[in-house]
Amino acid sequence: MPSYCYETKGGKVVTKAYPMGKAPKSITHLGCKAKRCYQAERVGAPALAGWPITCYGSGVNAAQAGELREHFRKAGVPTEVTRDGDPVYRNASHRRRALKCRGIHDRAAYL
């Protein structure tokens, strides 16, 4: 049976098993109502916690930070770049597009 995730108002995520397609929209867990959390059920995808990230590995020299900002802007992927030259990615999709516009492919990533 597949597992389904439910989140309480306090932010605690509870996992319950139900037959396929029979999971209710909400449950009561220890006296608290918990609504189904589709975000927590995503398998194989990175969690949204931790975004945005500052990527030091795809950064440039601090003197080239302005050039990198301009490159992202011209490529249609506006990206914040720190004074040190490190791009700040908002989410996995943004990271993938920003790396692609620079010709970088991260083979070890979840992308």
Model confidence pLDDT, tens digit, residues 53-71: 999 999 999 999 999 999 9
Checking if the pLDDT of 85 tops 80, the result is yes
By mean pLDDT, which of 56-60, 79-83, 92-96 is the weakest?
92-96
3-state secondary structure of 51: coil
By mean pLDDT, which of 11-25, 38-52, 62-76 is the weakest?
38-52
Q: What is the token pair recorded at 4?
A: 């389904």
pLDDT at residue 77 in the model? 93
Task: Return d(Cα 2, Cα 7) in angstroms, integer.
Answer: 17
3-state secondary structure of 101: helix
